[in-house]
Amino acid sequence: MRIALIKGDGIGVDVAEATMAIVEAALAKVGEQAPVYDEILSGAGYYKETGVDIEPGGEERAEAADAIFLGAIGLPSIRHKDGTEISPHLRLRDRFGLYAGVRPVKAYPNAPQRLADPRAAGIDLIILRESTEGLFYSAAAHNRSLVVNDDEVQDILRITRKTTTKLHDFAFNLARKRRERGKPGHLTCVDKANVFTSLAFFRKLFDEVKERHPDVPVGYNYVDAQALDLVRKPWEFDVMVTENMFGDILSDLAGGLVGGMGMAACAEIGDANGLFQPAHGSAPDIMGQDKANPLAAILSGALMLDYLAEKLERPVLADAADLINGAVEHGFEENALRPMEFGGDMGTKAVTNQLLSRISNRMPAKTSVSA
């Protein structure tokens, strides 16, 4: 199993190293060898030293790996001449067509709960964010905006049949997989089909793909109503599939409901490649202080093992993912995980060590809490 490892900048380095230690411990517990790492130098620090944002040949090596794990990239103090930040990972997303952005949002006991309603303890959902087109098709990095004149700028929201069909298929399969793991397995199409032709097309394609998945119960929500519902009754949702920009906004909102950035795991999956990274940035304000919460990265590591189980057809890797998810779940239940991010007393190393000892002392969990 070959992992392309990009530690990146700031706390990215710490949380990537913590994740690999946890992944190795979980693999050892299920009788598997540690992955072979291909560490690729990249990021703002690397750019400052060398003038390029990723090692020559790094993108090809990332492509050749079974999966890519990324800590975090970017430092506000180091920028290109035009003021934009160093972001080779956006290029990787484009290059590998990583259309399926999987953002799990789950409430853990003893972690901050922002809603007073006790049902908020049951929040366990996934936002599937299309990640290569939508309104981000016009992201500044792609240089596609139409600057009409000094008084007007236009951006395009692009929805294609090819990507959207793949996205919806992915969403239905994800919902089914969730149901097999004891979750509701319900899928909601989130759009604005009542106003935009592009998003009516998004919904039409959803309905076409639905025909192939009659076993998955579905619902529909306009994005504004979905934002309201994520605050009013997030516990009623399971998997939501949506356009890039909507997914960007809703996943931050939903992440806020269950703690903060240090819990926000993320998988970006394409036809042949998968990139796994915490959804947070390099957090320069706390770098080098052993304060970062490594759980977003570690939960992303579990998503990576789940992905590899399917890609390499080795179900034992999903057992290793279950082990990690179970250790996080039980660690919170017993109040043994108290990240500083939530006002607790445990830094990056303490959280990691707590999980390491839980994983090496525990049998594989029978009930999965992963995606």
**Site residues (CB under 6 A) for ligand ATP?**
11, 74, 261-262, 280-283, 285-286, 292-293, 296, 341
Instruction: Decide whether 245 or 283 has the Cβ nearer to ligand ATP.
Output: 283
- Which CB atom, from 74 or from 97, has the smaller least distance to ligand ATP? 74
Strand ranges (E), the chain:
2-8, 36-39, 67-72, 100-106, 124-130, 146-149, 152-154, 187-191, 218-222, 239-242, 267-269, 274-276
Residue 21 vs 171, nearer CB to ligand ATP:
21
Residue closer to ligand ATP, measured from CB, 16 or 189: 16
Q: What residue number has its CB nearest to ligand ATP?
A: 281
Closest CA to 52 of 39, 42, 61, 65: 42
The least distance separating ligand ATP from the CB of residue 286, rounded to whole angstroms, comes to 5
Q: Which residue number, 185 or 247, has a Cβ lying nearer to ligand ATP?
A: 247
| Diameter of the chain measured on Cα atoms | 64
Q: Shortest gap between Cβ of 110 and ligand ATP (angstroms)?
A: 17
User: 12 vs 270, which CB is nearer to ligand ATP?
Assistant: 12
Place of tokens 């380095």: 13
Token pair belonging to 146: 């139409």
Residue number, 15 or 321, with CB nearest to ligand ATP: 15
The position carrying tokens 């190293």 is 17
Half-sphere exposure of 264 (CA within 13 A, CB side): 20
* Residue closer to ligand ATP, measured from CB, 185 or 278: 278
Question: What is the smallest separation between the CB atom of 10 and ligand ATP, expressed in angstroms?
Answer: 7
CB of 220 to ligand ATP, least distance (A): 30
The phi-psi region of residue 195 (left if phi > 0; otherwise alpha if psi is between -120 and 50; otherwise beta) is alpha
How would you classify the pairing of strands 124-130 and 239-242? parallel
Measure the CA–CA gap between 56 and 68, rounded to whole angstroms: 17
CB 190 to ligand ATP: min, Å = 22
List alpha helices for 258-311, DSSP H: 295-311
Q: Are 298 and 355 in contact (CB under 8 A)?
A: yes
Minimum distance between the CB of residue 363 and ligand ATP, rounded to whole angstroms? Answer: 29
> Rounded to the nearest whole angstrom, what is the least distance from the CB of residue 356 to ligand ATP in the complex?
18
Whether the CB-CB separation of 305 and 23 falls below 8 Å is answered with yes
Closest CA to 191 of 231, 165, 227, 155: 227
CB of 346 to ligand ATP, least distance (A): 11
